[in-house]
Amino acid sequence: MVFKSLREDIASIAQRDPAARSNIEILFCYPGLHALLFYRLSHWLWAYEFKLLGRFVSQIGRILTGVEIHPGATIGKRLFIDHGMGVVIGETAVIGDDVTLYHGVTLGGTSLHKGKRHPTLEDGVIVGSGAQILGPHVVGEGARIGANAVVLSDVPKGVTMVGIPARVAMRRLKKDEEQAFHAYGLTSEHLPDPVARTAETLHRQVMQLTQRLEELEHRLAEAEGVKDSPSPPAVHETRAAGHG
Ligand SMILES: CC(C)(COP(=O)(O)OP(=O)(O)OC[C@H]1O[C@@H](n2cnc3c(N)ncnc32)[C@H](O)[C@@H]1OP(=O)(O)O)[C@@H](O)C(=O)NCCC(=O)NCCS
């Protein structure tokens, strides 16, 4: 069991870090992996009510790796903490599967109450270096948080958030891009031309607006149909004229 998850962790790092050259290198030179091993032991101790010992093991992990993970945090499979140093994961934080954190990330609390006060990161989230996610907010599946962003609200599934306070930068483009992992959270390689990116964004917005307009027209037609029945709804004429 322990070896299976270690093998999985190593394979996922090899997949997500273009700098990784061999499994041995990952095993010995990746503090994020070491921090995870310390976390698993400390979390096990914590769950079996050896709270102080759990904290102590976590503290040793912190000294050796620069990554502070509270033993009470809940972490899924294949978390990758690249570079490690300066990462802080609070007691009530919840992290799903296949999440990537770069150095300097804080999953922190903003209140002193003892309940849920740290963020929840759903599967596949990528958090850029130095980003801070503060409070019990949910970062939706596959979302990406830009380097140095400060997130103070829930983040919808699949969006990119940047800045302070963090705001949506752009939505994901295609289904296959949603599923693929992009090192450092970047997608620019798929649309390297800025003019093409702008055109793509405008196209998406026009499609959304068209869809919305059609929905509204449909509702209006229904409403007028009920009011004027049995005469034909006027909106059909308008729409036909518009398309002509
Ligand atoms: C947020 C991020 C994932 C976006 O990548 P992307 O999808 O390729 O998006 P782009 O680079 O095209 O940027 C989209 C917009 O967000 C802005 N932006 C990107 N990253 C930003 C950041 N960290 N802070 C503020 N704005 C940022 C860009 O300027 C651009 O704005 P514009 O549309 O007004 O020109 C990426 O920039 C990022 O920060 N990744 C983390 C990388 C990291 O931590 N690396 C550490 C390795 S050691």
Whether the per-residue pLDDT at 236 is higher than 60: the answer is: no
- Ligand 1: residues whose CB is within 6 Å? 83, 102, 128-129, 144, 146-148, 160, 162-163, 169-170, 184-188
Closest among 151, 144, 152, 13 to 84, alpha carbons compared? 13
Half-sphere exposure of 210 toward its Cβ, with a 13 Å CA cutoff?
8
Mean per-residue pLDDT, 198-204: 81
- Domain coordinates of the chain in residue numbers? 2-192, 197-243
Task: Tell me the backbone φ, ψ of residue 69, rounded to 5 degrees.
Answer: -120, 120
Structure tokens at 25: 């290198």
Tell me what percent of the residues of the chain surpass a pLDDT of 90. Answer: 70
Tell me what the pLDDT averaged over the chain comes to. Answer: 88
Closest protein CA for atom 14 of ligand 1: 169
Asked if 184 contacts 196 with a C-beta cutoff of 8 angstroms, the reply is no
The whole-model pTM stands at: 0.75
Judged by average pLDDT, the poorest of 108-117, 166-175, 203-212 is 166-175
Closest protein CA for atom 10 of ligand 1: 188
Q: What is the dihedral of CA 138, 144, 149, 155, to 10 degrees?
A: -30
- Give the mutation target among 160, 174, 200 for probing the ligand 1 site: most ligand atoms within 8 A of CB: 160
CA of 171 to the centre of ligand 1 (A): 12
Which CATH number does 2-192 carry? 2.160.10.10
